[in-house]
Amino acid sequence: MINIFNNGELDLALAKLKHDATPLFGKMSPQHVVEHLAKTVKVSTGKIPVKMFLNAEDGEALKQKLIFGETMLQPGIKSPLMGEEPPALVHSDFPTAVEELYKEIANFNQYYSQNPEAKHTHPRMGELKYPEWKVFHNKHFTHHFNQYGLL
């Protein structure tokens, strides 16, 4: 599993991701993946508020497995925040999307250094704290980097 908070690991993985690469699974292009990851980081800092799509009991059960257990995100999992097809791209090019991702990770670190007790809603697991978001992001990035054979 990647540790995105160790910039060296993230740098190595992103350096291997080519804008025209073909995924091993799923429909998202490399730029879609990078923009999706940046959006998810924004959710974790409250920049993009979301509602929970599961009931509290199912969300807690998922949190126990994913955050506190060894479970990883599997190919085919779908975000309740996305439709059947990837959304329209936000940025004009891949390098700009990567820049935004780095900016949002830096913002995540700064935000939680200033707000260590903050909690923000994950669409399936409910409110997560900083250490829980870190675990989720590492597993989420791992899932998408595996989509492109980067790890």
What's the rounded mean pLDDT across residues 99-125? Answer: 98
Q: Structure tokens of 99?
A: 């820049």
Helix H, strand E, coil C: the string for 55-77 is CHHHHHHHHHHHCCCCCCCCCCC
Sorted by where each begins, the domain ranges of the chain are 7-19+26-76+87-147
Q: What is the pLDDT of residue 145?
A: 98
Cα(27)–Cα(148) distance, integer angstroms:
11
The pLDDT, as a whole number, for residue 80 is: 83
pLDDT in tens, 36-91: 999 999 999 999 999 999 999 999 999 999 999 999 999 988 888 888 889 999 99
The structure's pTM equals 0.95
Q: How far is CA 104 from CA 27, 38, 72, in A?
A: 24, 6, 23
CATH code of the domain made up of 7-19+26-76+87-147: 1.20.120
